[in-house]
Amino acid sequence: MALDRVAAIVVAAGSGTRLRASAPKALVRVGGKPLLLWAVEALTVGGVTELVVAAAAERIADFTQVLASQPVPARVVAGGASRGDSVRNALAALNATAAPPDVVLVHDAARPLVPPEVVARVIAAVQDGDVAVVPVIPVTDTVRQLAASGSTVVDRSILRAVQTPQGFRRDVLTAAYAAPAFANSTAVTDDATLVERLGYAVRLVEGSPSAMKVTTPHDLVMVSAMLEV
Ligand code: CTP
Ligand code: MG
């Protein structure tokens, strides 16, 4: 299988409660561009050739307009109540097309500065035969695990923090989201976990501190600063 067509699902339907901005988080501007466009640019430079963006239903027109300025085919669909619901809706839209792509990346719009090299690395790993690929970075903080009484330090050398974009064979991701036992799973915060529950191995590749997620106002300051260096 050639696996040469690569789509990305960009989840951008969250409310951005913790950022406390007046606009949806994905439309908040940094360095003169909405977070969404930074993310899309990194994906396309990294090798993605089509996009499905999940947005809040009442914002579909705004998102469509923002995406008009970028070069690859992009559709905007209504997201859902949880991140997983948003991925599921976007994946359904992708699967409904006449010739769906072989490889699907799932990326948070809230990670605007993911380096294109990370995107390319994820794509290459899927094309080389891994069905689920996750970028990770080492944990730099010392981590403590809470116990019933007190706490203990965890060996951080065996921990990795998970980022996006995560890459999948489209058929495998579709099967994971279709599995009835997981259909309403709210405890799942990433897509690879669903695929893993089907019994597939998850391959880790090197992520980047630049792929940090914008969650709080402080994160936005960090991202602005990163654009200046
Ligand atoms: N997301 C989504 N649909 C949802 C919830 C989240 O598409 N129902 C997306 C967000 O838009 C974001 C990514 O999933 O790009 C990661 O979520 P998070 O950082 O939590 O963003 P928000 O849910 O928007 O922020 P908050 O939790 O502070 O409200
Ligand atoms: Mg959220």
For 32-46, the pLDDT digits (tens) are: 999 999 999 999 999
Evaluate whether residue 62 is within a structural domain. yes
pTM for this entry: 0.96
Nearest-atom index, ligand 1, CA of 12: 11
Assigned token pair, 90: 């976007």
Evaluate whether residue 181 is within a structural domain. yes
Task: Count CA atoms closer than 13 A to 88's CA, side-chain side.
Answer: 19
Q: What is the mean pLDDT of residues 148-172?
A: 97
What's the number of domains the chain is made of? 1
- Closest to 114 in 3D by CA, of 96, 94, 92, 136: 136
Evaluate whether residue 1 is within a structural domain. no
Evaluate whether residue 149 is within a structural domain. yes
Q: Which ligand ends up closest to the CA of 18?
A: 1
CATH of the domain at 69: 3.90.550.10
113-150 pLDDT tens trace: 999 999 999 999 999 999 999 999 999 999 999 999 99
pLDDT category of residue 28 using cuts at 50, 70 and 90: very high
**72 Cβ neighbours under 8 A, 6+ residues apart:** 40, 44, 48, 49, 50, 51
User: From CA 168, how far away is CA 216, in angstroms rounded?
Assistant: 29
Nearest-atom index, ligand 1, CA of 108: 15
Query: Residue 80: which domain range?
Result: 6-228
C-alpha torsion sign, points 190, 205, 115, 219: positive
Ligand 1 centre to CA of 153 (Å) is 30
What's at 193, amino acid-wise? T
Ligand 2 centre to CA of 153 (Å) is 28
Residue reference for tokens 């439309």 = 27
Evaluate whether residue 153 is within a structural domain. yes
